[in-house]
Amino acid sequence: MYAHQPWTGTWNAVPTSLTAIRYAVTGYADRVGVSRRTREAVALAVSEAASNAIIHGYTDALAPGEIVVTVSMLDPELLRIVIADDGRGIQPRTDSPGLGLGMPLMASLAERVDFDGNGGGTVVTMDFRRLT
């Protein structure tokens, strides 16, 4: 097992949570010694994933749902970030307020990204090299 323990946090799926989510994840990334370039990629990708959960995950809900973020080191060089919600899952939206660039952007920033929207909710898993 790698020396850094995983960390998990939960937030309401509201726009005001974005800053706290980004701050918590980049704080962990700083503690494990990621490069500046990796930290910037992490901050942007996490912002996109959490924004997607807020904007798209709970469109029909009367109250905001939750976003659960887990950050861990898989090995000394690989940082994993998992952002999960229990919203409506990945579904096409013709009324989407975004440009549709969030998922491709996350994929371009991370070493590996996986989107799982089956069975309700969405789980975005992103891996980043610690030093790039």
Q: What is the pLDDT of residue 2?
A: 53
Residue 81 confidence class, pLDDT cut points 50, 70, 90: very high
Residue 1 confidence class, pLDDT cut points 50, 70, 90: very low
Structural domains in the chain?
Answer: 7-129 (3.30.565.10)
Amino acid at 76: P
Residue 132 CA to its chain's centroid (Å): 19
- pLDDT tens digits, 66-79: 999 999 999 999 99
- pLDDT tens digits, 35-61: 999 999 999 999 999 998 888 777 776
Q: pTM of the full predicted structure?
A: 0.88
Task: State yes or no: pLDDT of 27 exceeds 90.
Answer: yes
- CA pair distance 33, 77, nearest whole angstrom: 10
- pLDDT tens digits, 82-131: 999 988 776 655 555 554 667 889 999 999 999 998 767 899 999 999 98
